[in-house]
Structure 1
Amino acid sequence: MKPYTAAVIGVGKAGGGGKKGGGHAIGYLHGGAFRDNPRTTLAMAADINAENLECFRQKFEVPRGFADYREMLREAKPEIVSICTYVGLHRQMVEDCARAGVKGIFLEKPIVASPADLVAVDEVVRQTGVKIVVAHIRRYFPAFLRLRELYQNGTVGQPMLCAAGIQDWDLSEWGSHWLDMFRHFHNDQPVKWVFGQMRVRQLRGYGHAMEDHGCAYFEFEGGGKGFVDGGRGMAGPWTMTLVGTEGTLRLQHEHLVVIETARGRSVEDYAKDQVKCYERAWC
């Protein structure tokens, strides 16, 4: 089978950027995935920063580079595109890619900046048939898969609450990972209601306003709830906590699973598996 021609829009800064400051090299992860997958050929890239684009092309030996992604779509006609720009640009880029005949889009999170943008993206998907994938790869990490299994199989009774705090981060960028995981733990059931509150002042990052502190509280149709605190961590060393009617599950450093029930306490370590899984997830 002939490999798909792939492209990256928004290659990022070589070496990455500061926390919340933007300029991260997320495009390099996508570039490496295309390079290492025998079913894709990284044939082109687009970025408005000429220096960043040249560094990316040299790193991955990309034959064609464009300052304007629209020109790339018209002239080179890629089959798969990774959109790695700031969220405010996503909707237009998705629409342009879809209408240019792109078959598949890897879209970095957060996927869009508003509910209206989401409606527009949904419409262009229905019109063109383009496939869109968001890189929520933690769904495939062993520790998270184990948490989901234990939370759903009755080990801690009936699922009640998933909770996490994200110290010095926000709900849209990093928080989107935990929001997705809580959906995953509840079998992607629809959300019945949402309460939210944010304090937004002068903080800016990734091309948009960011909250100094924000909280989201919501309930799934099955009855389980979720709580994510953006900006403040929870007490203790835990990455997240899952509470059932008969016990508690805790995750530490994304690889240690702690199980606490009336039967006792046990710890499972998936550190070695996590490293291998993270490498495979981008290939």
Structure 2
Amino acid sequence: MYRVGIIGTGKPWRSAGATGFGMAHMHARGYRAAPDAHLVALADLNLDHARSFQEQHGGDAVYQNYREMLAKERLDIVSICTWPHLHAEMVIACAEAGVRAVHCEKPMAPSFDEAKRMVAVCEASGTQLTFNHQRRFGAPFRAARDLLRAGAIGTLQRMEATCDNLFDWGTHWFDMLFFFNDETPVEWVIGQIDTRKPQTIFGVTVESQGISQFRFRNGVTGMLLTGDSAIPPLIIRLYGDEGLIEIGQSNDTPLRLWNRSASGWQNIDVGEGLHDEACHTRAILDLIDALKSGREPEVSARRALQATELIFATYESSRRRGRIDLPLTTDVPLTTITATA
């Protein structure tokens, strides 16, 4: 039985003033679905929040200081559900405390250096590190990859995606483009961002408009449009030499196909929408199975780092006004890039 702890329970789910999507609740439901995991400890700066969470999901003990929890509870698995600027110090503390697996919310961190440091420390300590890119387990996305692998659109040539921003939502879409292209590494990135109307998401500044273009080593090209450029606002398109797959037309029609076998779009019934909460549980069940078997988890830190590199390479390309060849050797947070007039 794996002993599980959660850092960052947050305010009671969907209560007044609560921000985000209550991700700790999703994690708790995932562990409850795992027959070999037991939630033993919770940590939150606000003990009232932790106790409210405990009433709903269980947990034998609550702590205000997560380091005290790590020192006392001999945890096997820890979920980190805090804002990105806290991820690195918490992941590293878990690794140093001997935690066997850490499951952290995305995005990885506000800087590429922090993201790389988390991965390096966990590799050195033997800690399995995962990040919650849970859409890898979504039925529309898996069905799209199955169609692609079956040759429904011929040979994959390019992929396009749209979303609100590169950092918070874009980490999902960058990750999914790697997923569709069988984790093929990227060779180069060229991009531009505009920050004249910056937003702040979970304490991190993100662009008001952006474009990231990149090429994978197998010749497939990718492009992500964000903010004011992103019309429609949330979609992925996979272009082959014999057709097109589209994910995200609507939650009711999350997957459709165009190719020579029909005269128009074919809606593909997959049984769930784009944002099914079951994906969080599937991610946790997968990381526990990976911990037992020694295989790489589907949402491994190695894969998350590939997506994170594209975020910061796009920022660096915008700063330099030129193409960035990977691997990325600099670290430029968005806040250092001057807004264009």
Same fold (TM over 0.5): yes
Amino acid across the alignment from 2:181: H
Partner of 2:181: 186
Q: CA deviation at 1:277?
A: 5.2
Amino acid across the alignment from 1:210: V
Q: CA deviation at 1:249?
A: 1.2
Partner of 1:205: 201
Q: Is 2:89 the partner of 1:103?
A: no
Q: Distance in 1 between matches of 2:151 and 2:230?
A: 25
What runs of 5+ residues in structure 1 fail to find an aligned partner? none
Give the SS at the match of 1:271: coil
Aligned mate of 1:156, from 147, 153, 156: 153
Q: CA deviation at 1:5?
A: 0.6
Give the SS at the match of 1:74: helix
Partner of 1:267: 267
Overall identity of the aligned pairs, in %: 28
Partner of 2:224: 228
Q: Is 2:90 the partner of 1:90?
A: no
Q: CA deviation at 1:108?
A: 0.8
Cα–Cα, structure 1 residues 49 and 256, in superposed 2: closer, same or farther, change >3 Å? Answer: same
Q: CA deviation at 1:17?
A: 7.5
Q: Distance in 1 between matches of 2:231 and 2:109?
A: 32
Q: Distance in 2 between matches of 1:109 and 1:28?
A: 15
Q: Distance in 2 between matches of 1:26 and 1:211?
A: 24
Partner of 1:137: 134
Q: CA deviation at 1:147?
A: 1.3
Q: Distance in 2 between matches of 1:213 and 1:38?
A: 45
Q: Is 2:224 the partner of 1:240?
A: no
Q: CA deviation at 1:247?
A: 1.3
- Which protein, 1 or 2, shows the higher relative CO under an 8 Å CA cutoff with sep ≥ 6? 2
Partner of 1:5: 3
Amino acid across the alignment from 1:241: R
Partner of 1:216: 212
**Would you say the 8 A contact 2:209–2:227 is kept in 1?**
yes
What runs of 5+ residues in structure 2 fail to find an aligned partner? 286-341
**Would you say the 8 A contact 2:27–2:280 is kept in 1?**
no
What are the equivalent positions in structure 2 for 1:169-184 lying under 5 Å apart? 169-184=164-179
Cα–Cα, structure 1 residues 202 and 221, in superposed 2: closer, same or farther, change >3 Å? Answer: closer
Cα–Cα, structure 1 residues 62 and 277, in superposed 2: closer, same or farther, change >3 Å? Answer: closer
Q: CA deviation at 1:241?
A: 1.2
Amino acid across the alignment from 2:177: F
Amino acid across the alignment from 1:145: R
Cα–Cα, structure 1 residues 54 and 202, in superposed 2: closer, same or farther, change >3 Å? Answer: same
Amino acid across the alignment from 2:175: D
Partner of 1:36: 33
Count the aligned residue pairs.
278
Which structure's residues are more often strand, by fraction? Answer: 1
Aligned mate of 1:50, from 47, 50, 54: 47
Partner of 2:60: 63
Q: Distance in 2 between matches of 1:187 and 1:152?
A: 10
Q: CA deviation at 1:220?
A: 0.8
Amino acid across the alignment from 1:267: N
**Would you say the 8 A contact 2:26–2:280 is kept in 1?**
no
**Would you say the 8 A contact 2:102–2:130 is kept in 1?**
yes
**Would you say the 8 A contact 1:17–1:25 is kept in 2?**
no
Q: C-alpha deviations, 1:27-80, integer Å up to 9, x for none? A: 111112112321111000111122321211111122211111111111112110
Q: TM-score, normalised by structure 2?
A: 0.74
Q: Distance in 1 between matches of 2:120 and 2:281?
A: 32
Q: Distance in 2 between matches of 1:271 and 1:248?
A: 21
**Would you say the 8 A contact 2:105–2:131 is kept in 1?**
yes
Q: CA deviation at 1:257?
A: 2.3
Q: Distance in 2 between matches of 1:238 and 1:39?
A: 37
Amino acid across the alignment from 2:173: W
Q: C-alpha deviations, 1:143-185, integer Å up to 9, x for none? A: 212211222333222212211212xx22211221111110011
**Would you say the 8 A contact 1:199–1:213 is kept in 2?**
yes
Q: CA deviation at 1:276?
A: 8.9
Divergent runs of 4+, >6 A: none
Q: CA deviation at 1:223?
A: 1.0
